[in-house]
Amino acid sequence: MTQTAPRPTLEAVAERAGVSRATVSRVVNGAHGVREALAERVRRAVEELGYVPNQAARSLVTRRHQAVAVVAAEPETRVFADPYFAQQLRGISKELTAHDNQLVLLLTEGREDHARVGRYLAGGHVDGALVFSLHLDDPLPALVRGAGLPTVFGGRPGWDEGLDDVVYVDSDNRGGARSAVRHLAGLGRTRVAHITGPLDQTSAADRLAGFRDVRPDTDPGLVARGDFTSGGGERAMRELLDRCPGLDAVFAANDLTAAGALRVLRERGLRVPDDVAVVGFDDMLPVAEESDPPLTTVRQDIEGMGRLMARLLLRGLDGEAPEAADGAPVPAASGVILPTTLVRRATA
Amino acid sequence: MTQTAPRPTLEAVAERAGVSRATVSRVVNGAHGVREALAERVRRAVEELGYVPNQAARSLVTRRHQAVAVVAAEPETRVFADPYFAQQLRGISKELTAHDNQLVLLLTEGREDHARVGRYLAGGHVDGALVFSLHLDDPLPALVRGAGLPTVFGGRPGWDEGLDDVVYVDSDNRGGARSAVRHLAGLGRTRVAHITGPLDQTSAADRLAGFRDVRPDTDPGLVARGDFTSGGGERAMRELLDRCPGLDAVFAANDLTAAGALRVLRERGLRVPDDVAVVGFDDMLPVAEESDPPLTTVRQDIEGMGRLMARLLLRGLDGEAPEAADGAPVPAASGVILPTTLVRRATA
């Protein structure tokens, strides 16, 4: 028997090209969404090493299952209780169905199940993945990328390395926050406070950054930490009033936080918006419309984000722009930021 | 070239044995849950025809993916809005996770998507399926059975043919209804009305049957059709009061229906339970506890149904009884009916 040199692996190509396995996989399989400079490096490494894609692995990727996985980093109980996720899922479901792709929702009980999700994704059961990962230290994105599947993220991922290799859809959290704080300034408010979301989530960090863009010299006492819940909004509002009783406006990081703040303001006998103006974020129904008074807030198109995630993934899989189900144009960028709108109701 | 006889197919075996393709598949692949008499007929047909299982198809079935599909016949929007389904899913998720199996939820927009779900199920992506099919004329169960996968149904299926070949988990809808109506009779109520659910669902049909078991001679005017919603409960309650103003009790087919009935009784100035006693079904929280007055109802263990469905499926897949996550014994029957409990609050 003659000894043959070991066949070069996908890993070897990735190492030589200085890119991730996922990127090699996508270039080799002709998927879109890889920058040309990167793709060229991969092609050169393939040639230099004499790499031949594994036929089985290749067929898993190139054979379309007409199925797309949706993965959330949150446990099943939170996913099902979260109206925000339900709205995004609605958009995803409509778009996938319009293109005859099966929506495969992978649920977990917690982080310890993420490795199993990674195995399923790598097992050749779906053509791509739509991933919601909210927290900076979440291991899920790495597992998903390791699976080598075309992926679109919901929300800007929390890591920086290799971000231009990542496709994601997000709202303009920073710009939306700026519009909220500018609106409060336009009403003549001078002591504007901010209740943040959990700052290990990029959406919360971006909204805080937008607040600081407009009010760079804000007294640190006017910023209190919340957690996107109404209970967190109540706690933070009490803290702010104790620290800065003269504040005349609050920008809350989301509508639930604003609802909690409104309860505390009422409890303390402060009139909204006369004494304190309030602006939320999301335009989450029915919270925003049914709050007392009805909430001025920054609207994001949550269902539209879901539709766009699905559309971008399908475009990458098909190697061309599909006709969007509602005829809307499909953007070309690899990170897509959707605009927000200020919705004026009664609180500011 | 010599002409070879066509290789006998799974279909041919099914036809000769007079059973479904799914049954042949299960016997050939050593799955449990097939009655011995049927299994024997399949084995004889396999021998007579010289059938050799297709290796690829066989490996799809015998190779475990450690993944189980959950399929509901309802559109995505209804699945996500339905607290009943969410509770069953919670039980399923806990049980599958405890046995390191991935929960794969297949969502649809409507019936026209069921064929695609059937293809996914048949594609070798999951080891088995847990199926919720509520309506008698639903094509989903046939598609699922055609996929030849081990399957457990949530709720007694609406067909009769070959039912002893089907594994399902249900609550004792008929017995629970009897206990509700007997309770009302025990309170001295003589004009007991019933608001049904949608009678194309076995749960609603079984509850009506339980009502009739106890009150076989009921005036047909005392039975009104509802649809498991509070709006339907309101309409039916008005109809009943117009037709039979002297009624002194109502058994509502579920808690939402009862909540609607309570609103109409209050609107008409009737006291509950003094003038009219009311019993619901489900013990769906928070509906039942927060109704005014708090609702007497028939409790079913909804999360427990989900857990048991998953447990029965895994047992079939593993060919043995797994240790249940909570140490509870796993029943041996192929249709498992869980008991219900009457929960007394204020309305009866």
pLDDT one-digit tens code per residue, B259-281: 999 999 999 999 999 999 999 99
Per-residue model confidence (pLDDT) at position B57: 44
Rounded CA-CA distance B343/A153 in Å is: 46
Per-residue model confidence (pLDDT) at position B59: 39
Name the β-bridge partners of B39: none
B125 touches chain A (CB under 8 A): yes
Q: Does the distance separating the beta carbons of A116 and B102 come in below 8 Å?
A: yes
Per-residue model confidence (pLDDT) at position B329: 59
Q: In whole angstroms, how large is the CA radius of gyration of chain B?
A: 23
Nearest residue in chain A measured CA to CA from B67: A120
Q: What is the pLDDT of residues B243-258, one digit of tens each?
A: 999 999 999 999 999 9
Q: To which CATH superfamily is domain A66-171+302-339 assigned? A: Response regulator (3.40.50.2300)
Per-residue model confidence (pLDDT) at position A213: 97
Cβ contacts of B200 within 8 Å, gap of 6 or more: B135, B136, B137, B158
Q: What is the mean pLDDT of chain B?
A: 86
Q: Does the distance separating the beta carbons of B86 and A97 come in below 8 Å?
A: no
Per-residue model confidence (pLDDT) at position A169: 94
Say which residue the tokens 């004889």 belong to: B44
Is the fold of A10-61 the same as that of A66-171+302-339? no
Size of interface A-B (CB pairs under 8 A): 84
Question: Percentage of residues in chain B with pLDDT exceeding 90?
Answer: 55
Cβ contacts of B275 within 8 Å, gap of 6 or more: B248, B265
Which chain B positions have a beta carbon within 8 Å of A127's beta carbon? none
Query: For residue B6, what pLDDT band results from cuts at 50, 70 and 90?
Result: low
Q: Does the distance separating the beta carbons of A106 and B105 come in below 8 Å?
A: yes
Q: Does the distance separating the beta carbons of A86 and B108 come in below 8 Å?
A: no
Per-residue model confidence (pLDDT) at position A198: 94
pLDDT at residue B61 tops 50: no
Fold of the B10-61 domain: 434 Repressor (Amino-terminal Domain) (1.10.260)
Q: How far is B147 from chain A (nearest CA, A)?
A: 16
Instruction: Please give the residue that has the higher pLDDT: either B15 or A221.
Output: A221
Q: Does the distance separating the beta carbons of B80 and A89 come in below 8 Å?
A: yes
Closest Cα to residue B207, out of B75, B132, B297? B297
Q: To which CATH superfamily is domain A173-301 assigned? A: Response regulator (3.40.50.2300)
Q: How far is A98 from chain B (nearest CA, A)?
A: 9
Which chain A positions have a beta carbon within 8 Å of B100's beta carbon? 116
Q: How far is A138 from chain B (nearest CA, A)?
A: 19
**Which regions in chain A score pLDDT beneath 70?**
1-7, 29-33, 50, 52-63, 160-165, 319-333
Q: Are B61 and B29 in contact (CB under 8 A)?
A: yes
Query: For residue B236, what pLDDT band results from cuts at 50, 70 and 90?
Result: very high
- Residue spans of the domains in chain A: they are 10-61, 66-171+302-339, 173-301
Give the pairing of strands B341-343 and B296-299.
antiparallel
Helices (H), chain B: 10-17, 21-28, 36-49, 55-62, 76-81, 83-98, 114-122, 140-146, 173-186, 202-214, 230-243, 255-267, 287-290, 302-318
Q: Long-range CB contacts (< 8 A, 24+ apart) of A17-23?
A: A17/A41, A17/A42, A17/A44, A17/A45, A19/A165, A20/A145, A20/A162, A20/A165, A21/A145, A21/A146, A21/A148, A22/A145, A22/A146, A22/A147, A22/A148, A22/A149, A22/A151, A22/A165, A23/A165
Rounded CA-CA distance A53/A58 in Å is: 6
Per-residue model confidence (pLDDT) at position B56: 38
Per-residue model confidence (pLDDT) at position A216: 96
User: Measured between CB atoms, which of A67, A76, A116 is closest to B93?
Assistant: A76
Buried residues in A96-127 as b, exposed as e (16+ CB within 10 A):
bbbbebbbbbbbbbeeebbebbbebbbebbbb
Q: Does the distance separating the beta carbons of B104 and A104 come in below 8 Å?
A: yes
Closest Cα to residue B308, out of B192, B171, B215, B201? B171
Per-residue model confidence (pLDDT) at position B10: 78
Instruction: Please give the residue that has the higher pLDDT: either B343 or B324.
Output: B343
Per-residue model confidence (pLDDT) at position A124: 87
**What's the mean pLDDT in B19-31?**
75
Question: Percentage of residues in chain B with pLDDT exceeding 70?
Answer: 86
Q: To which CATH superfamily is domain B65-170+302-339 assigned? A: Response regulator (3.40.50.2300)
Rounded CA-CA distance B243/B239 in Å is: 6
Closest Cα to residue B284, out of B298, B272, B264? B298
Q: How far is B75 from chain A (nearest CA, A)?
A: 10
Within its chain, how far is the Cα of B87 from the centroid? 13
Q: How far is A41 from chain B (nearest CA, A)?
A: 34
When scoring A108, A116, A143 by the number of chain B Cβ atoms within 10 A, the one with the most, hence best to mutate, is A116
- For CA atoms A42, A47, A52, A58, give the dihedral sign: positive
Q: Are A25 and A61 in contact (CB under 8 A)?
A: yes
Q: Note which residues in 16-75 of chain B have CB less than 8 A from chain A.
A: 65-67
User: Measured between CB atoms, which of A80, A109, A120 is closest to B67?
Assistant: A120
